[in-house]
Structure 1
Amino acid sequence: MAHSARSTLYFTGLLLASLLAWASPAQAQNDLLHDLEKQTADSTKSEVVAATFKGTHIINAQSVETTGPGMLAFLIQHRFGTLNSGAYNFFGLDQAVLRLSFEYGITSRLAAGIGRSSQDKTFDGFLKYRALRQTTGPHAVPVSVTLLASSAITTLRFNDPTVERTPASRLEYVYQALIARKVSPDLSVQLMPTLVHRNFVATSAMQNDVYAIGAGLRQKLTKRIAFTADYFYLLPGNTANTFRNALGVGVDIETGGHVFQLHVTNSKGMTEKFFVPQTDGNFFKGDIYFGFTIVRNFTIKSQL
Structure 2
Amino acid sequence: MPFTFPPCSGRLALLLSTLLALWSAPAQAQDDLLGQLESQAPKEAPAQVAATFKSTRLINGHTVETPGQGTMVFLISHRFGTLNSGAYNFFGLDQASIRLGLEYALTDQLEIGIGRSSLEKTLDGFAKYRAVRQSSGPGAMPISVTLFASSALTTLRYNDNVDYTVPRRLNFTYQALLARKFSSDLSLQLMPTLIHRNLVATKTDPNDVYAIGFGGRQKLSKRTSLNAEYYYLLPGSRPTGVRNALALGFDIETGGHVFQLHVTNSQGMIEKFFVANTRGNFFDGDIYFGFNVNRNFTVRPKEGFRK
TM-score range, shorter chain: 0.7 to 0.9
Aligned-pair distance for 1:204?
A: 1.1
Q: For residue 79 of structure 2, what is the aligned residue in structure 1?
A: 79
Contact persistence 1:233–1:245 (CA under 8 A): yes
1:19-42, Cα deviation, whole Å (9 max, x unpaired):
xxxxxxxxxxxxxxx9xx99xx99
Give the ranges of 4+ consecutive aligned residues of structure 1 lying more than 3 Å apart after TM superposition: 41-45
RMSD over equivalenced CA pairs, Å: 1.9
Are residue 122 (structure 1) and residue 100 (structure 2) matched? Answer: no
1:174-225, Cα deviation, whole Å (9 max, x unpaired):
0000000000000000000000000111211001000000010000001110
Show the 5 A alignment for 1:28-107.
44-107=44-107
Q: Which amino acid aligns with 1:248?
A: A
Contact persistence 1:220–1:227 (CA under 8 A): yes
Are residue 158 (structure 1) and residue 158 (structure 2) matched? Answer: yes
Segments of structure 1 that go 5 or more residues without pairing to the other structure are 1-33
Q: Which amino acid aligns with 1:74?
A: F
Aligned-pair distance for 1:239?
A: 2.3
Q: For residue 16 of structure 2, what is the aligned residue in structure 1?
A: none
What is the CA–CA distance in structure 1 between the aligned matches of 2:122 and 2:171, rounded to whole Å? 11
Show the 5 A alignment for 1:130-149.
130-149=130-149
Show the 5 A alignment for 1:1-304.
44-160=44-160, 162-237=161-236, 239=238, 242-304=241-303
What is the CA–CA distance in structure 2 between the aligned matches of 1:42 and 1:93, rounded to whole Å? 60
Report the 3-state secondary structure (helix = DSSP H, G, I; strand = E; otherwise coil) of the residue aligned with 1:242: coil
Q: How many residues align?
A: 267
Aligned-pair distance for 1:163?
A: 2.3
Aligned-pair distance for 1:257?
A: 1.4
Aligned-pair distance for 1:45?
A: 3.5
Contact persistence 2:74–2:101 (CA under 8 A): yes
Aligned-pair distance for 1:46?
A: 1.0
Q: For residue 30 of structure 1, what is the aligned residue in structure 2?
A: none
Q: Which amino acid aligns with 1:268?
A: Q
What is the CA–CA distance in structure 1 between the aligned matches of 2:203 and 2:271, rounded to whole Å? 22
Q: For residue 23 of structure 2, what is the aligned residue in structure 1?
A: none
What is the CA–CA distance in structure 1 between the aligned matches of 2:154 and 2:64, rounded to whole Å? 26
TM-score, scaled relative to structure 1: 0.85
Contact persistence 2:210–2:237 (CA under 8 A): no
Segments of structure 2 that go 5 or more residues without pairing to the other structure are 1-33
Q: For residue 11 of structure 1, what is the aligned residue in structure 2?
A: none
What is the CA–CA distance in structure 2 between the aligned matches of 1:71 and 1:238, rounded to whole Å? 37
What is the CA–CA distance in structure 2 between the aligned matches of 1:84 and 1:221, rounded to whole Å? 30
Segment drifting more, 124-133 vs 195-204: 195-204
What is the CA–CA distance in structure 2 between the aligned matches of 1:183 and 1:43, rounded to whole Å? 25
Contact persistence 1:43–1:137 (CA under 8 A): no
Aligned-pair distance for 1:74?
A: 0.1
Q: For residue 20 of structure 1, what is the aligned residue in structure 2?
A: none
Contact persistence 1:234–1:240 (CA under 8 A): no
TM-score, scaled relative to structure 2: 0.84
Report the 3-state secondary structure (helix = DSSP H, G, I; strand = E; otherwise coil) of the residue aligned with 2:158: coil
What is the CA–CA distance in structure 2 between the aligned matches of 1:268 and 1:202, rounded to whole Å? 18
What is the CA–CA distance in structure 1 between the aligned matches of 2:292 and 2:153, rounded to whole Å? 22
Identity of paired residues, percent? Answer: 64
Distance 1:244 1:52, change over 3 A: same
